[in-house]
Structure 1
Amino acid sequence: MTDLDPVIHAQARLRVTAFLAALAPGETLTFPRLQKELGMTAGNLSTHLRKLEDAGYVHQTKTIDGRTPATHVSLTDAGRTAFETYTRTLRQLLQGDA
């Protein structure tokens, strides 16, 4: 049995990853939209996104929309695979297959 991924396992990062995994591959969300949907502070979300980005699970793209900076967030292929592995492992644990 594989251990649960500690990067994803933290409650806030699990929420971020699960929310982004519900999007189509390659689809992005703006930082403010993700923040609103998850009900997190900007600082807290930034910290968790950085940890997920360091693991290669999330990609952040910074752009300029007119004169306004915008950050777009997406789950990478590695992040999607890690989340699928995490959820499969969790199901096995809950079913007693571990």
Structure 2
Amino acid sequence: MIVRTWTGRVPIRHAAAFARHLQATGAAECATVPGCLGSRTVRTEIDGWVEFRFISRWQSWEAIGLFAGPDIGKAVLYPGDEAYELRASATVEHEEIET
């Protein structure tokens, strides 16, 4: 299994709305991709900002490519992200989980 983690932060005033936006975009799209084993969002308040870590689980590198495109290390961002003053990481982290 492979875990893919993206990080971004928004001002605290946008946190609730951005959480809904993230579920309606990234989480919803992941759920439609064959080989996606689910996703979770972790959030932390830091000095007036809320940092979001979107963590998705995948069966294979090929499945990640179906979601992310040919450059799997690049973050997938969505129209409307800018409305939340999102400061997004342009890249993601991948980690393989040993079973």
Specify if TM > 0.5: no
When Rg is computed on C-alpha atoms for both structures, the one with the higher figure is 1
Per residue, is there more helix in 1 or in 2? 1
Bigger RCO (CA 8 Å, 6+ sep): 2
- TM-score, structure 2 normalization: 0.31
- TM-score, structure 1 normalization: 0.32
Per residue, is there more strand in 1 or in 2? 2
